[in-house]
Amino acid sequence: MEPVKRNILLNPGPSTTTDTVKYAQVVPDICPREKEFAGLMKGIREDLVRIVHGDLQKYTSVLFCGSGTINIDVCLNSLLPEGKKILVVNNGAYSTRATEICEYYGLPFIDLKFPVDQIPDLEVVEKTIRENPDIALVHTTHNETGTGLLNPIKEIGALAHRYGALFTVDTTSTYAMRPINIEEDNIDFCMASAQKGLMAFTGLSFVIGRREAIEQSASYPKRSYYCNLYLQYEYFEKTGEMHFTPPVQTIYAAIQALKEYWQEGEEAKWARHTRVFNAINKGLDELGFRQVIRPEWRAGLVSSAIYPDDPAWDFDKIHDYCYERGFTIYPGKISTANTFRLCALGAIDEPDINDFFMVFKNALKETGVAVPVHYSTPEETK
C-alpha cells in the first residue's frame, strides 16, 4: 500500500483520514442490490447506534446518501405532525440552517435566537415551549461548529420531553468524538455524516433515533420524496437496503473507519481529540490570540480565534502559506466578528499541532504580523 500524501485538515470536516480508510474504497465493482452488499449495511446501522450507546430494540439508524445537511432536512420535514410547530433553539450558523430548512418546506417554526457566544437561556426555552403547546419538535445543535460552543442538550431535551415534544439534535460535529449517550442525554434523534467524527468520507449520512417515533411518523405529511425518514426506514426494514443507489465505495470506507473506531475506543479517541484541542488552544494563547467562546463553554473540538488588529493580517495569505505546507485552516462563520477556526477532528494528534504552529508562526512572520498578536480594545472580562 503506497502511502498517500498526508494533509492535516484543521477545518471542521471533512477530516484527515487514515490511509487504510482511503484504500478501503478500492474494491471490486459490485452492484449494491446484491445480498452481499445489503448485509454490510445492517452491520453499519447497528454500529452507528452502538456509538451513542443506544439499545438496538429501541433505537435504529437510517442511512442517506448525501452530506450532513441532509439529516437536518430529513428530521425536520419528516417528524412534524400536521398542524404542529418546530422550535429551533438557535445560537449559531447550524441552527440557522435548520430554520432555513423550515422556511423552505413552509413548516411552522419559532426561531428562538440567542447570541452566538452564549449558551441559551433555559428559562426562556421553557417559557417558549410552555406558551406554545403546538410545539411538537424541538431542535438544536450540539457543538455549534461555527463557533465551537457546546449547547446543554441534556437540559434542552428534558424541557422538550416535559412538554411532550420530540427532541432532535444536530450532533454532526460531536458524534464519534465527544461521547454521547442517546437515552441519558434525552435525545430522540441525533445525526452525523461519515466525513466528520468517523474519519471517513462525505456521501454517507445517518440519522439515529427512536424506532417508535419513526413508526409514528408514518402518518405525518410526506413533504419530500427523497428525504423522508419513514420511507427510507421502511425500505431498510423490508429489504436491508437504501431506497435509491447508495454511495458504494464511501460505505466500504465507513466500514473500515468503524473498525478503526472500535479499535481506538471511545475513551481513547476522545482523549486524543482533547489532546489536539488543548494543543491548539495552547498555541493560540502563546501567540496572543483571543477566542470567541469562553473556555468553560467550548465543546472541545473547534477553536474560533478573533482576527488581530494588525494592518498586516491577511487571512488568505496565511491560509495559502499553511496550505502549501500541508495544513488547512478555515475561516469563521459568524457575522459579529472576523474569526478563523482550528479544529480537532480527524486522524491527527498533538505532534501534528506542534508542527502546524511552527508553520503558522512562520506565516505570521513572513506576512509581517506582529507576535504576540495585537488587539486595539482591552479584552472583555466576561
Ligand X SMILES: *Cc1c(COP(=O)(O)O)cnc(C)c1O
Which of 25, 67, 128, 338 forms a contact with ligand X (CB under 6 A)?
67
Residue 185 binds to ligand X (criterion: CB under 6 A): no
Is residue 135 a contact partner of residue 86, using CB atoms and an 8 Å limit? yes
Q: Which of residues 264-283 bind ligand X (CB under 6 A)?
A: none
Residue 94 binds to ligand X (criterion: CB under 6 A): yes
Min dist. Cβ of residue 158 to ligand X (A)? 21
Distance CA 26, CA 39 (A): 19
Residue type, 40: L
Question: Which part of the chain contacts ligand X (CB under 6 A), choosing from 66-74, 112-120, 218-226, 347-355?
Answer: 66-74
Question: Which SS3 state, helix, strand or coil, does residue 203 take?
Answer: strand
Q: Which of residues 116-155 bind ligand X (CB under 6 A)?
A: 141, 145
Task: Between 13 and 308, name the residue whose CB sits nearer to ligand X.
Answer: 13
Strand partners, 192: 206
Residue 189 binds to ligand X (criterion: CB under 6 A): no
Task: Between 201 and 230, name the residue whose CB sits nearer to ligand X.
Answer: 201
For residue 321, what is the enclosing H or E element?
A: helix 315-324
What are phi and psi for residue 7, nearest 5 degrees? Answer: -105, 140
Min dist. Cβ of residue 345 to ligand X (A)? 9
Distance CA 154, CA 139 (A): 12
Residue 77 binds to ligand X (criterion: CB under 6 A): no
Distance CA 86, CA 102 (A): 8
Min dist. Cβ of residue 79 to ligand X (A)? 17
Distance CA 289, CA 293 (A): 12
- Residue at shortest CB range from ligand X: 68
Q: Residues in contact with ligand X, total (CB under 6 A)? A: 13
Task: Between 189 and 357, name the residue whose CB sits nearer to ligand X.
Answer: 189
Residue 20 binds to ligand X (criterion: CB under 6 A): no
Residue 191 CB neighbour total at 10 angstroms: 27
- Cell 435566537 locates to 113
Question: Which part of the chain contacts ligand X (CB under 6 A), choosing from 62-70, 132-140, 271-279, 281-289?
Answer: 62-70
Is residue 67 a contact partner of residue 202, using CB atoms and an 8 Å limit? yes
Distance CA 105, CA 308 (A): 41
Residue 300 binds to ligand X (criterion: CB under 6 A): no
Residue 69 binds to ligand X (criterion: CB under 6 A): yes
Residue 203 binds to ligand X (criterion: CB under 6 A): no
Q: State the sign of the Cα–Cα–Cα–Cα dihedral 330, 334, 338, 343.
A: negative
Question: Which part of the chain contacts ligand X (CB under 6 A), choosing from 64-72, 81-89, 279-287, 338-346?
Answer: 64-72
Distance CA 69, CA 191 (A): 10
Q: Which of residues 163-182 bind ligand X (CB under 6 A)?
A: 170, 172-173
Task: Between 172 and 339, name the residue whose CB sits nearer to ligand X.
Answer: 172
Q: How many residues does the chain have?
A: 382
Q: Which residues bind ligand X (CB under 6 A)?
A: 12-13, 67-69, 94, 141, 145, 170, 172-173, 193, 196
